[in-house]
Structure 1
Amino acid sequence: MLKLSLPIVNWLRAIISLILAIIIFISYPTPAIAQQDDRNFIQVFFQAVTDAVKGRSQRKELKAPNGRSRGGAGRGRCPALISLDNNEIPLTAFVPTIQEQQISSSEVDIVWGTTTEAYPTFWFYIPYSYKESEIEYGKFVLLNQNQEIIAGPILVKIPESNQPILAKFTLPNTVPPLKENQEYNWYFSIICNSLKPSNNPGVVGWIQRTKLGFFPPKNNLFYIERGIWYDMITRLLTTKDLQTQSQEDKLGLVKYIFKDVIKKPKISEKISEAENLDEIANKIVSFPIQELVPVPNPTSMQS
Structure 2
Amino acid sequence: MKKTFKKIGIILGSIGVFSIFTYNLPVSVKVAEAIAAAVFKFKLPPPPPNRGIAGNRVGGASRISSKDPTNEGTNSDRHLTALVPEYRNSVGSEITKVWGLTTNEYPTLYFYIPYTKKSISHIDFIIADGDNLEHRTVYRDVILSPKYPGIINFSLPQTSAPLKIDKLYQWELKLTMNRQLDKEISVKGWIQRSGLNSDSIDSTGGRLAQRIKQESPNRQAAFYAENGFWYDALATLAELRIQRPKDLAIIEDWNNILKSVNLGKLANKPFVKSGY
Would you say same fold, with TM above 0.5?
yes
* 1:74 shift after superposition: 3.5
Matched with 1:25 is: 21
> Contact conserved, 1:53 with 1:112, CA < 8 A, in 2?
no
Give, in whole Å, the separation in 2 of the partners of 1:255 and 1:203.
20
Q: Deviations over 1:24-54 (max 9, x none)?
A: 9379679869789xx9443411xx21xx125
Whether the 8 Å CA contact 2:32–2:250 is kept in 1: the answer is no
Q: Are the equivalent residues in 2 in contact too, given 1:83–1:89 (CA < 8 A)?
A: no
How far apart, in 2, do the equivalents of 1:40 and 1:246 lie? 12
1:190 and 2:178 equivalent?
no
Counterpart residue number, 1:236: 237
3-state SS of 2:232 partner: helix
Identical-pair percentage: 28
SS in 2 for 1:73: coil
User: In the TM superposition, what whole-angstrom CA distance separates every residue of 1:242-279 from its partner, at most 9, and x where no partner exists?
Assistant: 543221111223445565xxxxxxxxxxxxxxxxx7xx
Which residue of the partner structure matches residue 14 of structure 2?
Answer: none
Within a 5 Å distance, the mapping from 1:159-178 to structure 2 comes to 159-161=146-148, 164-178=149-163
Structure 1 residue 108 corresponds to structure 2 residue 108:
no
Q: TM-score, normalised by structure 2?
A: 0.70
2: CA distance between counterparts of 1:35 and 1:167? 27
C-alpha contact (below 8 Å) 2:127/2:169 kept by paired residues: yes
Given candidates 37, 41, 45, the residue that maps to 1:44 is: 41
Say how many residue pairs are matched.
233
Aligned to 1:7: none
Query: Following TM superposition, by how much is the alpha carbon of 1:227 offset from its aligned partner in structure 2, in angstroms?
Result: 0.9
Instruction: Measure how far apart 1:85 and its partner are.
Output: 4.9
Give how far 1:178 is off: 0.5
Aligned equivalents of 2:105 and 2:184: distance in 1?
A: 29
Q: TM-score, normalised by structure 1?
A: 0.64
Preserved CA contact (<8 Å) 1:69 1:205: yes
Larger Rg: 1
Q: What aligned pairs does 1:1-303 form with structure 2 within 5 A after superposition?
A: 25=21, 40-45=37-42, 48-49=43-44, 52-54=45-47, 56-57=48-49, 62-74=50-62, 81-85=70-74, 87-101=76-90, 106-131=93-118, 133=119, 135-144=120-129, 145-146=131-132, 147-161=134-148, 164-192=149-177, 199-212=183-196, 213=200, 214-216=207-209, 217=212, 218=215, 219=219, 220-239=221-240, 240-241=243-244, 242-256=246-260, 259=263, 281=266, 283-284=268-269, 287-291=270-274
With over 3 angstroms needed to count, the CA separation of the structure-2 counterparts of 1:184 and 1:250, relative to structure 1, is same
Offset of 1:106 from its aligned partner? 3.6
Structure 1, unmatched stretches of 5+, are: 1-21, 260-276, 294-303
Distance 2:247 2:144 in 1: 33
Would the aligned equivalents of 2:80 and 2:114 in 1 still touch at CA under 8 Å? yes
SS in structure 1 at match of 2:238:
helix
Secondary structure at 2:39 match in 1: helix
Q: CA RMSD in A?
A: 3.8
Q: Take 1:186 and 1:74, find their aligned partners in 2: how far apart are those partners?
A: 21
Equivalent residue number for residue 13 of structure 2: none
Task: Identify if the C-alpha distance between structure 1 residues 291 and 236 changes in structure 2 by more than 3 Å, giving closer, same or farther.
Answer: farther
Query: Residues 73 and 81 of structure 1 are in contact (CA less than 8 Å); yes or no, is this contact kept in structure 2?
Result: no
Distance in 1 separating the partners of 2:23 and 2:165? 25
